[in-house]
Amino acid sequence: MRRHLTFLMFIICGFLITTCDSHSQTIPLSKEGKACIECHKELSPSFVKEWQLSSHAAKGVDCYTCHKAEKTDPDAMEHNGFTIAILVTPKDCGRCHAKEVLEMTNSHHAMAGDILNSLDNYLGEVLGGPEAVAVGCLQCHGAKVKVLPGGKLDINSWPNTGIGRINPDGSKGSCSACHTRHRFSRAQAREPQTCGKCHLGPDHPQIEVYQESKHGILYEANKAQLNMEKKSWIVGKDYSAAPTCATCHMSATPNQPVTHDVGTRISWTLRPAISKKLENAEKRRDDMKDVCSSCHSSPFVDGFYNQFDNLVVFYNEKFARPAMGMRQDLIDAGKLTPADFDDKLDWIYYELWHHEGRRARHGAAMSGPDYAWWHGIYEVAKKFYSEFLPEVKQVAGPELYAMLVKKYLEQDVRHEWYLKGMSKEQLEKIRKYYEERYGK
């Protein structure tokens, strides 16, 4: 009897699964959607194919579902008998993915388009020019996309998939910054290269740091075993060989769900001239440690954080504060203009914190020793002692310089070597070291 029942269940389930399966491949498309495909499979066959391969196609989310618009929408466009919009903004995706959109909207990523009044923007717009900003800054940060009468987009602000794009409907960000159209895949977004479009270069080399770290090496060696295509992607459960950027900053652990707010697990902000701890720093750090704990013991992770914190505080105190203080005093004394980038010292100072000072901190944050030292603190020290201080001396004149040295350098023994030179004993030690190592 029991066996019969099981058999019957087996038949019924089999039937259900088969129908569900075939059903999922043939979820009926809207008649509008079919019309889009009819034309567009000739016009733009690749993105129709990419859409066909997506989870969206399998669930009947078609062209029209995403692109449809109300006539009153700011970016509505009449298009072959349909009212559509070219942009499919977080607000549109949010009809089905409310959680992801809310998290992203609350994150720094959504704020990235708001750079108009930043120092970097002055650099970009005035010292460079708007043409450069359009193909540079805004492709990472996001443009304010303008709509022309009739719904076409202003070609000066489009194409653009910057992370904090300011959309005509008021929403912020662009989901295709990471989920490239028209596949919109999780797997692709989990790849480090996705983040590396923006997180690279002289002022925030996260992808380079990652590539030289053991984590990046393990990723390269074990890519094929990371099960990136899986829906569930819990570290320690669905994969174990290496963490990617997403693993640490976004993806699930046995104790935490996926988050689209990339800032929730970082405790410092390493962007400003002087790094600051964020609000709720301990909680944020615990959430990150929870990620590490799948692959490392807690003393190991505490050791890592100890070294990282030490580097940040060391950089702040030895270099960033004195440099900032001296420059400000020169401005206050009328020796430098308050405007940025019109004095040589402004450029030296800017690169000191914005380029090499950040590189050092990012190298320490993500275990890239070459960035922490050679591209980092080595460059900071070289610039500080061989360019910044000589320029301060030049600008200040002997009297004010002597005062600044007293105020900012003398009380810190770490600058003694510069003020007094290397001691005889130190010179002798170094000579001996090489003699013993290599002979005469």
Binding mask 362-391 for ligand HEC (x = CB under 6 A): ---xxx------------------------
Report if residue 166 touches ligand HEC, rule: CB under 6 A: no
Report if residue 88 touches ligand HEC, rule: CB under 6 A: yes
Tokens 């750079």: give the residue.
115
The whole-angstrom distance between residue 383's C-alpha and the CA centroid of its chain comes to 27
- Judged by CB under 6 A, the residue of 29, 37, 166, 336 near ligand HEC is 37
- Judged by CB under 6 A, the residue of 26, 53, 129, 152 near ligand HEC is 152
Distance CA 401, CA 409 (A): 11
How many residues lie near ligand HEC (CB under 6 A)?
119
Residue 362 near residue 205 (C-beta atoms within 8 A): yes
Which C-beta is closer to ligand HEC: that of 215 or that of 415? 215
Distance CA 77, CA 212 (A): 47
Residue 316: count of CB within 10 angstroms of its CB: 17
Report if residue 263 touches ligand HEC, rule: CB under 6 A: yes
Minimum gap (Å) between residue 46 Cβ and ligand HEC = 10
Structure tokens, 67: 């692109």
Q: How many CA atoms lie within 13 A of 409 on its CB side?
A: 17
Binding mask 109-138 for ligand HEC (x = CB under 6 A): x-xx--x--x-xx-xx--------x--xx-
- Judged by CB under 6 A, the residue of 19, 225, 269, 298 near ligand HEC is 269
Distance CA 432, CA 440 (A): 10
Q: How many CA atoms lie within 13 A of 182 on its CB side?
A: 19
Distance CA 432, CA 439 (A): 9
Which C-beta is closer to ligand HEC: that of 106 or that of 381? 106
Contacts 24+ apart (CB under 8 A), 286-290: 287/256, 288/248, 290/253, 290/255, 290/256
Which C-beta is closer to ligand HEC: that of 80 or that of 411? 80
Binding mask 91-110 for ligand HEC (x = CB under 6 A): -xx-xxx--xx--x---xx-
Minimum gap (Å) between residue 29 Cβ and ligand HEC = 9
Report if residue 212 touches ligand HEC, rule: CB under 6 A: no
In whole angstroms, how far apart are CA 257 and each of 55, 100, 253, 289? 21, 11, 7, 15
Residue nearest to ligand HEC (CB): 263
Stretch that binds ligand HEC, among 59-67, 320-328, 332-340, 372-380 (CB under 6 A): 59-67
Residue type present at position 171:
S
- Judged by CB under 6 A, the residue of 73, 76, 157, 249 near ligand HEC is 249
